Structure 1
Amino acid sequence: MSVPSHAKSVAFSGYGDADVLRLTESPVPEPGPGQVLLRVRAVGVNPLDWKVRRGFMEAVFPVAFPHVPGLEASGVVAAVGADVTAWKPGDEVLGPVAGGYAEYALADAAKLAAKPADLGWEAAAALPVAAESATRALGALGLVPGETLLVHAAAGSVGSLTVQLAVAAGVTVVGTASEANHDHLRALGAIPVRYGEGQFDRIRAAAPQGVDAVLDAAGSGVLAESVALAGGPERVVSLVDPAEAGPLGVRFSGGGPGEDRTVEGLAGALALHRAETLALPVRAALPLADAASAHRLSEQGHGLGKIVLLP
């Protein structure tokens, strides 16, 4: 496969609103040991992307400018590092990447999965971050069949995959979401509850047997009441709210060193795909040049499904 010396990417050279994102030409990186170079076909847009862009994560996620966002992608292997034997040029894959808002991006060869022929590029790009996060959270909570899990923000991409993986494992799931997304949650096998004022009364009514564990994927000040509902902080995990989690003794899981569950997560998500039960809708697919519009849409929140960019 012929690889150009330069290609399009989207980057920002300072923190700010979505208008700091610029389409540019940059050198195509060469894969080093353990890496592959992907010709990106679709890249997922995650809330972390715009939080980093706005400078909200500077203390824990500093970046060098210019910075190309993008944590996950689907694409075709264009070149491989000298020691990579698992992949060859032409292979269709999905997984985590570095700088995915680009026509070409580097990926860790060991964390990629083969893209099934019947899984579209857009849907494939929407999977890696959500699958890893959901699998990491469920592993931390240690649920067993017959237990009940409460998922805050259950209709989001991470929440939806958590619901599906938990239900497949025999766990009863109660999920908070806006009323417009309740049919989606029912289709996944969850018991939907409207979020907002009074939601914990509604949760108790929906789960009279009690709740064994709680996953917070919302970050909307729900942890204190979640700890009370679960009978303590031991089986409450937040993926999004370290500030509230710490004082309550709740585990915050940010996917740092030693926590990564990408390989297991992708295996579980692709197993759902093979069983024809995987449901992770794509909310919008926009051209790479419209990355600013994608960020604005992501910042609005509350939408059902993942936003992807198409280089």
Structure 2
Amino acid sequence: MRAIVYTENGDPDVLQLVERPTPEPGPGEVRVRLAFSGVNPTDWKSRRTNPPGPDGQVPDQDGSGTVDAVGEGVDPVLVGERVWVWEAAWQRPHGTAAEYTVVPARQVVLLGAGPAFELGAALGIPFLTAHRCLTVAESLPDRLGPGALTGHTVLVQGGAGAVGNAAIQLARWADATVIATVSSPHKAQLAAAAGASHVVDYREQDVVAEVRKVAPKGVDAIVEVSAATNAAVDAQVIGLHGAVAMYADDGGAEVTVPVRAQMVPNARWQFVLVYTEPERAKAIAVEDVNAAVLDGAVRVGEDAGLPLHVFPLAETAQAHRAVEDGAVGKVLVDVTA
């Protein structure tokens, strides 16, 4: 099979297209013939910092495709099913930047006949991260679904990013009022297309004042892409029993929080990383995200506020570089091209 492999850490050019044996599924595993691979910031960060194994590492956690073989103990009825894949490369050598990957059966989710493979490859890390961010506050339920967030207000800092877009779509599906911050008119259009109820350009407007107009008592959850930059604003708009969920790292930056001001609302400042979050929370997130997909509540593309940037498998290095350079939207690798 064709696969992208790196045998040393470094820039995107360490990613090489090679031929290697097609992996066989072991007990409890399934093999997926991939259509698309989704590229996330954690993929290029892993490429730079996590040493690959002796046989090299196939990158990328997320993907979509068709189950074509199952291992011992897995119901063969799965063969032929369209699925989306999550955490393929977490502590495993078989990521999704290849024609085939092998993962534990629980890490494939039925996509059904309707949703496009592009959508399936865009789910994984962004949507599971967003789900965690939207459910860690004590004032909010731990499950999302229609009506789950009725009467609640969510602030999405960075509404044009992949996680921001996922948070907007999931929160609106759950009937929350969503305020999104952006840095340009174009990104404002993307956040609005995703479904944000209110959009604030933080370069032109006072975020605290605008948020307080919508939520005088503060917001219930903040989905935070840049905690070091936005901590002062977050501290002023978080509501009673609310949570600031921090899912991204500003290159090792540190966060300063006004302690007394956060004691009063019993606010929670929560760090979020999908790979190490509690297993129950992750299982719930997979179920809820899939329910949103089956409900038709999740979309990708420009009209959903998430422009797609698609590269062929041979150009996976360029795909990684695009994410590393901050591409607006979702970067995918077309494994079949």
Q: Could you state the TM-score of these two structures normalised by the residue count of structure 2?
A: 0.79
Q: Distance in 1 between matches of 2:109 and 2:323?
A: 26
| Corresponding residue number in structure 2 for 1:251 | 270
* Paired residue secondary structure (1:212): strand
Q: Does 1:269 align with 2:294?
A: no
| Corresponding residue number in structure 2 for 1:236 | 244
Distance 1:231 1:89, change over 3 A: closer
Q: Distance in 2 between matches of 1:205 and 1:257?
A: 31
Number of equivalences: 299
What letter corresponds to residue 66 of structure 2 in structure 1?
Answer: V
| Corresponding residue number in structure 1 for 2:127 | 131
| Corresponding residue number in structure 2 for 1:153 | 158
The answer to whether the Cα contact below 8 Å between 1:237 and 1:252 also exists between their aligned partners in 2 is yes
Distance 1:300 1:232, change over 3 A: farther
| Corresponding residue number in structure 2 for 1:31 | 25
| Corresponding residue number in structure 2 for 1:278 | 298
Distance 1:79 1:225, change over 3 A: same
Shift of 1:204: 3.3
Q: Distance in 2 between matches of 1:160 and 1:113?
A: 21
Q: Distance in 2 between matches of 1:12 and 1:206?
A: 50
| Corresponding residue number in structure 1 for 2:331 | 307
What letter corresponds to residue 26 of structure 2 in structure 1?
Answer: G
| Corresponding residue number in structure 2 for 1:162 | 167
More moved, 103-112 vs 81-90 = 81-90
Shift of 1:82: 0.2
Q: Distance in 2 between matches of 1:280 and 1:13?
A: 33
What letter corresponds to residue 297 of structure 1 in structure 2?
Answer: A
* Paired residue secondary structure (1:118): coil
Alignment of 1:101-250 (within 5 A): 101-142=97-138, 143=140, 144-178=149-183, 179-187=185-193, 188-196=195-203, 199-201=206-208, 203-204=210-211, 206-209=213-216, 210-218=218-226, 221-230=229-238, 235-241=243-249, 248=257, 250=269
The answer to whether the Cα contact below 8 Å between 2:219 and 2:242 also exists between their aligned partners in 1 is no
Q: Distance in 2 between matches of 1:247 and 1:32?
A: 47
The answer to whether the Cα contact below 8 Å between 2:220 and 2:241 also exists between their aligned partners in 1 is no
Shift of 1:250: 2.3
What letter corresponds to residue 62 of structure 2 in structure 1?
Answer: E
Identical aligned residues as a percent: 31
Shift of 1:260: 6.3
The answer to whether the Cα contact below 8 Å between 2:173 and 2:297 also exists between their aligned partners in 1 is no
Q: Distance in 2 between matches of 1:87 and 1:221?
A: 49
Distance 1:88 1:181, change over 3 A: same
Q: Distance in 1 between matches of 2:231 and 2:76?
A: 42
Shift of 1:199: 4.9
Q: Distance in 1 between matches of 2:136 and 2:280?
A: 12
The answer to whether the Cα contact below 8 Å between 1:44 and 1:71 also exists between their aligned partners in 2 is yes
What letter corresponds to residue 178 of structure 2 in structure 1?
Answer: V
Q: Distance in 1 between matches of 2:58 and 2:19?
A: 11
What letter corresponds to residue 12 of structure 1 in structure 2?
Answer: Y
What letter corresponds to residue 254 of structure 1 in structure 2?
Answer: L
Q: Distance in 2 between matches of 1:82 and 1:90?
A: 17
* Paired residue secondary structure (2:78): coil
Q: Could you state the TM-score of these two structures normalised by the residue count of structure 1?
A: 0.85
Shift of 1:294: 0.7
What letter corresponds to residue 70 of structure 1 in structure 2?
Answer: D
Structure 1: give runs of 5+ residues left out of the alignment. Answer: 1-6
More moved, 164-173 vs 40-49 = 164-173
Q: Distance in 1 between matches of 2:190 and 2:155?
A: 16
Q: Distance in 1 between matches of 2:189 and 2:63?
A: 28
The answer to whether the Cα contact below 8 Å between 1:223 and 1:244 also exists between their aligned partners in 2 is no
Q: Distance in 2 between matches of 1:53 and 1:195?
A: 32
The answer to whether the Cα contact below 8 Å between 1:191 and 1:206 also exists between their aligned partners in 2 is no
Q: Deviations along 1:1-28, whole A, 9 cap, x unmatched?
A: xxxxxx1111122222111111111222
Q: Does 1:64 align with 2:53?
A: yes
